[in-house]
Amino acid sequence: MENKTIICRCEDITVEEIRSIIKEGFTTLEEIKRITRCGMGPCQGKTCTPIIAREISRITGKSIDEIIPSKARPPVGGIALGELTGDTNEK
């Protein structure tokens, strides 16, 4: 993969940036997510996470099975007050 290839379209992060971060010693998906925001965009990491895991594996020599997935925190939306109180007569 070329260095300028964007692997996280949501956050505009290139493979070169990911490789640099891994070489600095950040070798978990959670660390990379916190540094780059990869996995925090609209796709929630569906596209970039497997590619980043593959790069971690390639650079560190760890198998893909050894790479722990990052924590999933789905987007939060508002709820109606009636949902909390059990009121089903909302309009």
Question: 7 and 29 in contact (C-beta within 8 Å)?
Answer: no
Q: Mind listing the pLDDT tens digit for each residue in 15-66? A: 999 999 999 999 999 999 999 999 888 888 899 999 999 999 999 999 999 9
Give this prediction's pTM: 0.76
Asked if the model's pLDDT at residue 90 lies above 60, the reply is no
Whole-number Å distance between alpha carbons of 2 and 90: 55
First to last CA, the chain: 54
1 vs 32, more confident: 32
